[in-house]
Amino acid sequence: MEQAAAARSTVFGLDVYSAMPLSFLEGPSAKPTGRALELSLQAGDAVEPDWPASAELVCDEHLPDGSVLFQIEAHPEAGFLISGPRYGAYLLSGDGLRLRCAPAGHPDDVWQRFLIAQVLPFAALLHGLEVFHASAIVHDGKAVAFIGPSHAGKTSVALELCRRGATFLTDDVLAVERVGEDLLGYPGTPVAGLDHSEAQRIERTEGAQHHEIVASNPREWVVRMRGATEPASLGALFILDRGPGGPSRPSFELAGEPRLLLAATFNSVITAPSRLRGLLDICALAARLPVERILAGPDVDAAELASAIERRLGAAP
């Protein structure tokens, strides 16, 4: 791989080399890790005209109307084909070293959003890292992760804490690695997806547009972030539990069950025994950390959540 002439972006613990800069990966790059991924772009609708007919369909995500959102096919020699009519196609080698992308005419803000949300985290798993659906910041030198379903407010509370002095680590995808008895959380991409209501709240609070907008769609703004340039030891995890019956003020309860962390992992496609053993090991180690569920009603905003979390972190031993 001719890395000298390529642009490098280190995200999710991977050194991604591309012949051309990618807008969603541009920005201050984290320190290289030595886990290289060569990314190439291909014109046309398919990355592999002779993709094996014997490949197995291992993941099939659908929209509410029944149409395909994306699917993943696997083949022992060819690797993994990740594709969707809205996103194009992506051929990832089985060892996670090579990625061929065919955006199929989709604009950068569409296919690159899918790249960072689904494809690169998949590659991180192939390199032996584990991945959680979580946003994270660095607070007092330790990574603090926020886990929860879509629209739970993970990104909003992370960005609010960054506004108060924390360092941005990652949005929505957290790659971790066990090093001795520590879990290292790696910096993600230098962008974050901010829903419109939270973007409007920030504008009202600060009186001006606070972040550079990389892309915008009916659901969110993708904004540029200046974050951590090296991994941080994981110090705490919070599981955001927001619902109509939640309290009007945030409350905390212990939630150290490893199975709760298993439910927050990114990928159930890779089921090799070595991966599953590593996943269980990482979840068991994470469960030894302070792991708390935050209960809150839908009217509790990001500022109130951030204040409660700051107080909680300040009270931690």
Q: Is 184 left (phi over 0), alpha (psi -120 to 50) or beta?
A: beta
Q: Which CATH architecture is the domain 131-315 placed in?
A: 3-Layer(aba) Sandwich (3.40)
How many Cβ atoms from other residues are within 10 Å of residue 206's Cβ?
A: 10
What b/e string do you get for 235-266 counting C-beta neighbours within 10 Å, with b at 16 or more? bbbbbbbbeeebeeebebeebeebebbbebbb
The whole-angstrom separation of Cα 302 and Cα 243 is 14
Residue spans of the domains in the chain: they are 7-127, 131-315
Q: Please compute, for residue 43, the number of CA atoms within 13 A of its CA located in the half-sphere on the CB side.
A: 0
What does each of the 317 residues of the chain score in pLDDT, given as a tens digit? 444 457 899 999 999 999 888 999 987 778 999 999 999 998 766 666 679 999 999 999 999 999 999 999 999 999 999 999 999 999 999 999 999 999 988 998 999 999 999 999 999 999 999 999 999 999 999 999 999 877 788 998 999 999 899 999 999 999 999 999 999 999 999 999 887 776 676 666 654 456 788 888 777 888 888 889 999 999 999 999 988 889 999 999 998 677 788 888 877 888 889 998 999 999 999 999 999 999 999 889 899 999 999 999 986 54
Q: What token pair was written down for 240? A: 């955001």
pTM, two decimals, is 0.91
The whole-angstrom separation of Cα 32 and Cα 7 is 12
The whole-angstrom separation of Cα 40 and Cα 153 is 34
The whole-angstrom separation of Cα 136 and Cα 280 is 21
